Each structure stands twice: as structure tokens, then as C-alpha cells.
């Protein structure tokens, strides 16, 4: 079993829709949770990070963590074609190493 599971998609939505992404993880020692966006042939860009259960909002993005269920989510409201990318969840343990999900490829149709 992988430490972090993420459905690779692909996911295709119309412009303006809400994009819902999620990951599950197995190791309770994970303490920090991140979402990255990666465009083709580019390095990942950090979107959001959090370390506690609950919601964190930043503009159109909301990250949600449920430590009891070992489940994290990212919601993108009012999605735009420019949001088309691969979204990676990443979870950090005490040694600062990141465990990545497989990445979900999202396409927002104009």
C-alpha cells in the first residue's frame, strides 16, 4: 500500500465548476499537508499548506484536512482554464521528507 493515495484522473470540468481533489494517507505520523500545482514540464508550485485538521481558505482554493480519517481535500471554486494542470498532494513527516500522491490531471474546459 502506498503511503499516499491519489486518484490520477484525468478530471475534466466546465469553466466555473468546482474542482474537488482528494488524497488518503496511511501514516499517522504525517503532520503537514500540502497541495502543489504542476504545469507540464515545470516544477511544482506550492498552493497551500496546513498542519491541522479543518479548513484553510486562500482565494478560490480551500484545503481541508481530516486527520481522524486520514483524508485531505482541495477545492477550487470558479475554476478557470488556467487552472488546468496536475495537482499533487504531499504530506510531510518529522524528517521533512515529502510523500507525494500520484497527481490528478485536471482540465477546465472553456
Q: Where on the chain is the footprint of other proteins (CB under 8 A)?
A: 31-32, 34, 36, 41-46, 49, 51, 88, 90, 92, 96-98, 100-103
Identify whether the C-beta of residue 11 lies closer than 8 Å to the C-beta of residue 106. Answer: yes
Residue 55 CB, nearest approach to other proteins (Å): 18
Longest dimension (CA), the chain: 42
Grid cell of 3 as nine digits: 503511503
Our CB check for other proteins shows the closer of 17 and 102 to be 102
Our CB check for other proteins shows the closer of 45 and 57 to be 45
- In this structure, the number of other CB atoms found within 10 A of the CB of residue 24 comes to 17
Residue 56 CB, nearest approach to other proteins (Å): 13
Q: Is 91 helix (H, G, I), strand (E, B) or coil?
A: strand
Residue 25 CB, nearest approach to other proteins (Å): 14
Q: Is 81 helix (H, G, I), strand (E, B) or coil?
A: helix
Amino acid at each position: 500500500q502506498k503511503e499516499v493515495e491519489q486518484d490520477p484522473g484525468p478530471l475534466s470540468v466546465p469553466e466555473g465548476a468546482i474542482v474537488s481533489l482528494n488524497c488518503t494517507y496511511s501514516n499517522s505520523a504525517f503532520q503537514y499537508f500540502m497541495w502543489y500545482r504542476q504545469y507540464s514540464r515545470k516544477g511544482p508550485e506550492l498552493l497551500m499548506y496546513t498542519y491541522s485538521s479543518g479548513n484553510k481558505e486562500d482565494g478560490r482554493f480551500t484545503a481541508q484536512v481530516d486527520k481522524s480519517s486520514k483524508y485531505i481535500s482541495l477545492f477550487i471554486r470558479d475554476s478557470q482554464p488556467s487552472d488546468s494542470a496536475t495537482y499533487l498532494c504531499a504530506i510531510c513527516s518529522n524528517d521533512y521528507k515529502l510523500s507525494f500522491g500520484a497527481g490528478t490531471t485536471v482540465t477546465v474546459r472553456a
